[in-house]
A and B are shown apart, each in its own frame.
Chain A
Amino acid sequence: MKKMPEKTTPNMFARIFRFYYEGFTSMSWWGKRVWLIILIKLFIIFLVLRLFFFPDYLKKNFTDDRQRSDYILEQITKTTDTDDRKH
């Protein structure tokens, strides 16, 4: 007699992968549409806005934290126009 092949339970990672894989592949119309929007949105936010329009001002203009703190100290100790106790 032929031996029945032993049933093996896939490991946890394979089951998680299959869970997500099946979820994504059997998505409804709206699910596919919002995922498309998410991907376009993330592309615009991280690869367009972040790289080209939103550099970190202090990281870009100063090389170390000492320079940055000097700059901030300068900014926050500026006196106002009408303050008669200017240094």
Chain B
Amino acid sequence: MIGNIDLSLVDWSRAQFALTAMYHWLFVPLTLGLSFIIAIMETIYVKTGNEEWKRMTRFWMTLFGINFAIGVATGIILEFEFGTNWSSYSWFVGDIFGAPLAIEGILAFFLESTFVAVMFFGWNKVSKKFHLASTWLVAVGANLSALWILVANAWMQNPVGMVFNPETARNEMVNFWAVLFNPVAVDKFLHTIFSGFLLASVFVVGVSSWFIIKKREEWLSKRSILIASVFGLLSSLMVAFTGDTSARTIAQVQPVKFAAMEALYTGSKDAGLVAVGVLKKSDEKLITDKAVNNFVMKIRIPGLLSVMTGGSRDVFVPGIKDLIHYGDTTRNILSIPEMMERGRFAREVLDDYKRARMLNDNEQADIIRNDYFRTRSFLEENFRYFGYAFLNSPEDAIPNVAVAFYSFHLMVMLGFFFILLFILAIFMLFRGTLQKNKWFLWLALLSIPLVYICSEAGWVTAEMGRQPWIIQDMMPVSVAVSQLSPGSVITTFILFAVLFTALLAAEVSIMIRQIKSGPKH
């Protein structure tokens, strides 16, 4: 990587961003999912006129409100960090990141803040139907807000719909629809919101189980569990489905990340999916520095990885070593050394442009701009791999395989556990044996922290798995970082750790108090 960048600065800047993003993500998914669960409950209240449903809606709405209020604006800090800690990235990315975030801000402000007020202040002041419509609009608005931030994130994973302007040193959006319907954005949006629905469902099932353990609010708890389990089961099946489509997309646009998620070093046809595995670093090196992780044990499902990526057991799935040395010609994936060559050529052209500009040689600058930066072939065959110019060795393009593998497998295993949890809850409810099975009620309660771990593990897979890139193939994190003193980054890291821990403690304590006091009569 670039020689004069202090690695501790890069590491601390990354740690700070990760801390902020992960804390922010503790609040978001519950908002995404609980808003819909509340809307379903209120719909039943409006249809039946049964006041118990209103009481149930208002109880869960209180917990939603606490989470929403404490989580609100925690994401703004990420935008501060872009401007301060990641200034080269912020400039380079241009309006592509700004436009979706601006739409998100406007939507969040007008849609959510207006209808959230009606949700909480509007009982008995507006008509039942208008109140219900507001609750649904909050749910839709919250999820639409998520769309825009996920579109921005997806662009970082698969940059599309833009051209680089050397004059401004920025990428400029040329196709909004390509950015919006980026295949990574579509997969990511659906996978993320359904995972939020799943998280909220586990939360409702867990809290309701606690009431049943305490022999309180049986009627309300059982109906809450029924709604959350059905909603959660459908959502978790959608999470599995979108995870599958997402894997296919990642295999194409981020093949190294895909191989790292499976700790697949040597590719093959009829490649198996590792269901469970334990890794150990071996003495073998990839090239010079990075150790190869071997499996101490693994349970493998034969052929499934090939089927997942290409629909057939005959499909070749490249491993990390293949991608370093050969790429994958069947899917037009170049080898890493080839991409490094192309990236370095792009950087040389940009450097020539920069020199011409510094010397006020406008004629030469115009020639370079027209001959290279306005030609599709240069942009698609060279500038697309610009970030590889900063790698010293092909193995620099490999993320931490153990982190990608374990976080991915933890997410998947917990995901299947929750499917089982919802099925069991529905089964026991219909058999009328729910309150007799104390073990299940405790398991449901203990699943609340597990679902948060699962949700965070998903983001760790997505973000750690794409290292070293801040923008896939175009900009590594070491180039994106601002030249700040590591001391100032460490200071703000500690400030955030304190602030977010305080917010989380406040949320948990207020929520526990409200849960203990139960639904109001």
Contact = CB atoms under 8 A, between A and B. Distances in A.
Given A31-B120, A44-B499, A49-B80, A73 B69 contact: no
B62 interface: yes
A23 to B, nearest CB: 3
Contacts, number: 137
Contacts of A6: none
Interface string B83-98: 1110110111000000
Contacts of A57: 83-85, 87, 482, 484
Interface stretch (B100-108, B161-169, B194-202, B460-468): B161-169
Per DSSP, chain A at the interface is helix
B117 A54 contact: no
B495 interface: yes
Interface of A: 19-20, 22-24, 28, 30-31, 33-35, 37-38, 41-42, 44-45, 49-50, 53-59, 65, 68-70, 72-83, 85, 87
A56 B83 contact: yes
B368 to A, nearest CB: 12
B394 to A, nearest CB: 12
A29 to B, nearest CB: 9
A72 B169 contact: yes
Given A54-B83, A55-B83, A59-B83, 19 more contacts: A20-B117, A23-B117, A34-B65, A34-B69, A34-B510, A38-B69, A41-B73, A45-B73, A49-B80, A49-B492, A53-B492, A57-B484, A73-B166, A73-B169, A73-B354, A76-B475, A78-B479, A80-B392, A85-B348
B64 to A, nearest CB: 11
B84 A77 contact: no
Interface residues of B, number: 63
B287 interface: no
Nearest to A85: B344
A45 B417 CA distance: 38
Contacts of A22: 121, 125
Given A22-B121, A37-B70, A56-B84, A30 B344 contact: no
B26 interface: no
B168 A76 contact: no
Contacts of B361: none
B240 interface: no
